[in-house]
A and B are shown apart, each in its own frame.
Chain A
Amino acid sequence: MGGYSIGIITLLLINCIAALGVSLFTGFTGIFTLGHAGYMAIGAYTAAILTVEHGVGFVPAIIAGGILAMVCAYLIGLPTLKLVGDYYTIASLGLGEAIRLIIENWQSLTRGARGYPGIDNYTTLPVALTFFVVMAVGMFFLVNSRFGRAFKACRDDYVAASLLGFNTARYRVFSLAISGFYCGVAGALLAGFMSFIQPIMFDMAKSTELVSVVVFGGLGSMSGCLIGTTILTLITEMFRPISQYRMLIYGLVLVIIMVVRPEGIMGTHELTFSYIKSLFCRKKKVAEQGGAQ
């Protein structure tokens, strides 16, 4: 397999990890965020600084990146997650940008807007794949547990959820913290993949991208967000030669999906054998009905 293909797959796996995190928060807990690139940035810079300046091994550095992002997400979430609807989205936008600006201005630590070069290329395909598999399995298991049901309850009707005994505020913060961890790890892996990171890589456009793939794949479907990430990553890579059209097409895809199929590719369904079977059965049933008439 050529180096280019390996690179794309590695990048895809990194994007998928971040998408899983955002999917938990936006798709399963129902809170729309426009600032998760900030957590990727925290993870990326933590891993970069630890590996380059303190000789920390890359695995502990990546995990440290994830943990620091998670802690920041938790601290941010505590005061802000009581905001309802649009207000939280705007807060997340502001916070994501604030994180980026802090990184840009804290030049002594992060080398500022020029970027942080010279990061060891530790994110090989096996590394990315291992992190992806472990974290994806964990996430699928999580949503298929009492926590998953709790998050969904908070999403579908937070009043009813509280009347079923759920401390909705705590679950939302919890969901945010986990999604922060996933984005932090993804950011740390990205640092080891690009060997160079800049604050501008984690701006609002990146946050928008994160949330778009989740919407595209289907809010409430983990397999959907993976499918969505795959399709969008491959499309944007295909258009890299004519990269000026890349963003235009990506924007159009977003609009068209919302107009034509807002529930995304998978809706709230997961890609299981029974789901695929039900697709075929439905077609067969419709055909039978059509024939009978």
Chain B
Amino acid sequence: MDIDIIQQIINGLSLGSVYALIAVGYSLVYSILLFSNFAHGGFLVVGGYICYYFLMMHGASVWTASAAALVGAGLSAVLVERLAYKPIRERTPITLYLLIASMGMSIVIENIFVVTIGGRFRALPDVLPMQPVNVFGIATTSAFDILSLVVAIVCLVALQLFLTKTKWGLAIRAASYNLKTAGLMGVNVNRLISIVFFVAGVLAAVGGIFLSARYTLYPQLGSTITTKAFVAAVIGGLGSLPGAVIGSLILGLAEMLTAGLISSQFRDLVVFGLLIITLVIRPTGLFGKSVSEKV
């Protein structure tokens, strides 16, 4: 039994780290624009499909395919922002309209794939290592899990460096406190938002590649995962990046431990259970900012 638990823990951390990539991108957008981008999962799917396409059609190496997927997803995110969100946010400060537009975009992206490529499940070619690996003689896990964990860590560290060491990173951090003020300080707000969406798209694509390799790729993968990413972001605290990471790890662990110890049927229920408990006890999550109104 002990071996099982450790295995599930490693699985959980690995799954959680992939969720973290999605949740962080989503929280990043939330921290700047203060709305939940329901279309975020769409970028994930775009990344997955581009990767799949390059691997299948061109027999490209996993590096080329991944690079193309990342860039493609990033650009698609920027495109969505410019086409759908920019006109709305320039007109009105009401975030509800952005929320609904994002729901629409999520449906649009999902169904573009359904209509053009078809909704059937596609397995990514076996380019990612899947063989079992023995960890310190304690447990056996797959190389895939370790790889996804490592890649996720690398990406998150890179993001952290970007946010703390670069000029645009500083601008983004300033904007997360107050977008308008950042603009008044000379930041090109539109370009900043595009950069944020690009980064979010890239992170989503990395997650998307790993998730489609783990689960198979289909158009609705985006919305399923997006929901989980929300839950993770809420648990960690909406708008907080470290919160998104921790929330994701908690979620990944909860899912895997439930599936391993109780039953996989209850997995999803546990996910939503955690969400509801968080919202009832401490809605701002672990690290979220509480927004209070001046009366």
Q: Report A's interface with B, CB cutoff 8 A.
A: 32, 79-80, 83-84, 86-87, 89-91, 93-95, 97-98, 101-102, 105, 159, 204-205, 208, 211-212, 215, 244-245, 247-248, 250-255, 258-259, 262
Q: B272–A255 contact, CB under 8 A?
A: no
SS class of chain A's interface: helix, strand, loop or mixed? helix
A-chain residues with CB within 8 Å of residue B87 when the two chains form the complex: 259
Min CB–CB distance B123 → chain A (angstroms): 22
Q: B272–A80 contact, CB under 8 A?
A: no
Q: B115–A248 contact, CB under 8 A?
A: yes
A-chain residues with CB within 8 Å of residue B108 when the two chains form the complex: 248, 251-252, 255
Min CB–CB distance A142 → chain B (angstroms): 23
- Of all chain B residues, which has the CB nearest A107? B265
Interface bits B198-230 vs A (CB < 8 Å: 1, else 0): 000000000000000000000000010001001
Task: Tell me which of A90, A245, A262 contacts B279 (CB under 8 A).
Answer: A90
Q: Given that A98-B269, A259-B84 are known contacts, is A247 also in contact with B107, CB under 8 Å in the complex?
A: yes
SS class of chain B's interface: helix, strand, loop or mixed? helix
A-chain residues with CB within 8 Å of residue B293 when the two chains form the complex: 159
B-chain residues with CB within 8 Å of residue A205 when the two chains form the complex: 107
For residue B44, CB closer than 8 A to chain A, the reply is: no
B-chain residues with CB within 8 Å of residue A93 when the two chains form the complex: 227, 230
Q: A32–B276 contact, CB under 8 A?
A: no
**Bound state CA distance, A159 and B293, in angstroms?**
10
B-chain residues with CB within 8 Å of residue A84 when the two chains form the complex: 283, 291
Q: Given that A86-B36, A90-B234 are known contacts, is A254 also in contact with B103, CB under 8 Å in the complex?
A: yes
For residue B96, CB closer than 8 A to chain A, the reply is: yes
- Of all chain B residues, which has the CB nearest A203? B223
Q: Which 8 A-B pairs have the closest CB atoms?
A: A254-B104, A251-B107, A255-B104, A248-B111, A251-B108, A258-B101, A94-B275, A98-B272
Interface bits B126-168 vs A (CB < 8 Å: 1, else 0): 0000000000000000000000000000000000000000000
Q: Given that A247-B114, A258-B104 are known contacts, is A86 also in contact with B35, CB under 8 Å in the complex?
A: yes
Q: B100–A94 contact, CB under 8 A?
A: no
Q: A101–B272 contact, CB under 8 A?
A: yes
- Of all chain A residues, which has the CB nearest B108? A251
User: Given contacts A94-B279, A105-B265, A105-B269, could you give 20 more A-B pairs where the C-beta distance is less than 8 Å?
Assistant: A89-B36, A89-B99, A90-B279, A91-B275, A94-B231, A94-B275, A94-B276, A204-B223, A244-B115, A248-B112, A250-B107, A251-B105, A255-B84, A255-B105, A258-B84, A258-B98, A258-B104, A259-B84, A262-B91, A262-B97
For residue B280, CB closer than 8 A to chain A, the reply is: yes
Min CB–CB distance B231 → chain A (angstroms): 7
Q: A98–B97 contact, CB under 8 A?
A: no
Q: Report B's interface with A, CB cutoff 8 A.
A: 35-36, 84, 87-88, 91-92, 94-101, 103-108, 110-112, 114-115, 223, 227, 230-231, 234, 238, 265-266, 268-269, 272-273, 275-276, 279-280, 283, 291, 293, 295
- Of all chain A residues, which has the CB nearest B279? A91
- Of all chain B residues, which has the CB nearest A30? B96
Min CB–CB distance B96 → chain A (angstroms): 6
Q: Given that A204-B227, A254-B100 are known contacts, is A87 also in contact with B92, CB under 8 Å in the complex?
A: no
A-chain residues with CB within 8 Å of residue B94 when the two chains form the complex: 262
- Of all chain A residues, which has the CB nearest B115? A244
- Of all chain B residues, which has the CB nearest A258? B101
Q: B234–A252 contact, CB under 8 A?
A: no
Show 20 A/B contacts (Cβ-Cβ < 8 Å), sorted by A: A32-B99, A84-B291, A86-B238, A87-B238, A90-B275, A94-B275, A94-B276, A97-B268, A97-B272, A159-B293, A159-B295, A212-B103, A247-B110, A248-B107, A248-B115, A251-B106, A254-B103, A255-B101, A255-B104, A262-B88
Q: Given that A101-B269, A208-B103 are known contacts, is A258 also in contact with B97, CB under 8 Å in the complex?
A: yes
B-chain residues with CB within 8 Å of residue A105 when the two chains form the complex: 265-266, 269
A-chain residues with CB within 8 Å of residue B95 when the two chains form the complex: 86
Most buried by B among A91, A95, A245: A91
Q: B111–A247 contact, CB under 8 A?
A: yes
Min CB–CB distance B271 → chain A (angstroms): 8
Q: A262–B92 contact, CB under 8 A?
A: yes
**Bound state CA distance, A93 and B115, in angstroms?**
27
B-chain residues with CB within 8 Å of residue A97 when the two chains form the complex: 227, 268, 272
Min CB–CB distance A259 → chain B (angstroms): 5
Task: Tell me which of A79, A212, A247, A250 contacts B100 (CB under 8 A).
Answer: A212
Q: Given that A86-B36, A97-B227 are known contacts, is A254 also in contact with B101, CB under 8 Å in the complex?
A: yes
A-chain residues with CB within 8 Å of residue B273 when the two chains form the complex: 98
**Bound state CA distance, A71 and B26, in angstroms?**
34
B-chain residues with CB within 8 Å of residue A32 when the two chains form the complex: 96, 99
A-chain residues with CB within 8 Å of residue B223 when the two chains form the complex: 204
Min CB–CB distance B117 → chain A (angstroms): 11
B-chain residues with CB within 8 Å of residue A259 when the two chains form the complex: 84, 87-88, 101
A-chain residues with CB within 8 Å of residue B103 when the two chains form the complex: 208, 212, 254
- Of all chain B residues, which has the CB nearest A252? B108
- Of all chain B residues, which has the CB nearest A86? B36
**Bound state CA distance, A258 and B108, in angstroms?**
14
Min CB–CB distance B219 → chain A (angstroms): 10
- Of all chain A residues, which has the CB nearest B118? A244
- Of all chain B residues, which has the CB nearest A95? B276
B-chain residues with CB within 8 Å of residue A101 when the two chains form the complex: 268-269, 272
